[in-house]
Amino acid sequence: MANIYPKWTNTAPLKIAACALLVLGTVVLGVTYYATPKWTEVGHQPIQPVAFSHNLHVSQIGLDCRYCHTYVDRSEHSNVPGANTCMNCHNQVLANDDRLAPVRESFDTGQPVPWVRVHDTPDYVYFNHSVHVNRGVSCVECHGQVNEMEIVEQRQPLSMAFCLDCHRNPENFLRPPDEVYNLNWKPENTTAQLEMGEKFVHDWKVQPPESCSGCHR
154 Cβ partners below 8 Å, 6+ apart?
A: 41, 42, 43, 44, 45, 118, 119
Q: Is residue 1 part of a domain?
A: no
User: Phi/psi of residue 137, each to 5°?
Assistant: -95, 115
pLDDT level of residue 2 (50, 70, 90 thresholds): low
CA angle 61, 63, 67 (to 5 degrees): 150
Close Cβ partners of 52 (under 8 Å, ≥ 6 residues apart): 152
- Banded model confidence at residue 53, pLDDT cuts 50, 70, 90: very high
Exposure letters 58-73 (e unless 16+ CB within 10 A, then b):
bbeeeeebebbbbebb
* Full-model pTM: 0.81
Does the pLDDT value for residue 48 go beyond 70? yes
Within-domain flag for 59: no
DSSP class per residue in 10-26: GSHHHHHHHHHHHHHHH
Share of the chain above pLDDT 70, in %: 94
Please list, in sequence order, all residues whose beta carbon lies within 8 angstroms of the beta carbon of residue 2, skipping any fewer than 6 positions away: none
Answer yes or no: is 180 within a domain.
Answer: yes
What's the domain count of the chain? 1
DSSP string of 99-156, one letter each residue = GGHHHHHHHHH-PPP-PPP-S---TT----HHHHHTTTB-HHHHH--GGG-SS----S
Whole-angstrom distance, CA of residue 78 vs CA of residue 154:
15
Query: What is the average per-residue pLDDT within 98-106?
Result: 97
Looking at residue 70, what is its pLDDT?
94
54 belongs to a structural domain? no
Amino acid, res. 159: S
Report the pLDDT value the prediction gives residue 97, as an integer from 0 to 100: 96
Amino acid at 176: P
- CB burial of 131-159 (b: ≥16 within 10 Å; e: otherwise) equals ebbebbbbbbbbbbebbebeebbbbbbbe
State pLDDT tens for residues 120-150.
Answer: 888 899 999 999 999 999 999 999 999 999 9
Out of 13-22, 36-45, 46-55, 80-89, pick the least confident: 36-45
Give the pLDDT band (50/70/90) at residue 24.
confident
Q: Give the pLDDT confidence of 158-215 residue by residue, as tens digits.
A: 999 999 999 999 999 999 999 999 999 999 999 999 999 999 999 999 999 999 999 9
The reported pLDDT for the residue numbered 33 is 63
R_g of the chain, CA atoms, integer Å: 25
Question: Around Cβ 200, how many Cβ atoms within 10 Å?
Answer: 19
Q: Which residue has the higher pLDDT, 111 or 15?
A: 111
Residue 12 lies in a domain: no
pLDDT for 36 equals: 67
Query: pLDDT band at residue 112, thresholds of 50, 70 and 90?
Result: very high
Decide if 114 is inside a domain: no
Answer yes or no: is pLDDT of 157 > 60: yes
At residue 174, the 3 state secondary structure works out as strand
The one-letter amino acid at 112: P
Task: Tell me the mean pLDDT in the region 104-126.
Answer: 94
- Please, are residues 181 and 54 in contact by the beta-carbon 8 Å criterion? no
Q: Helix (H, G, I), strand (E, B), or coil: what is residue 42?
A: coil
Residue 102 lies in a domain: no
Q: What is the pLDDT of residue 148?
A: 97
Establish if 211 belongs to a structural domain.
yes
Give the domain range for residue 144: 70-80+120-215
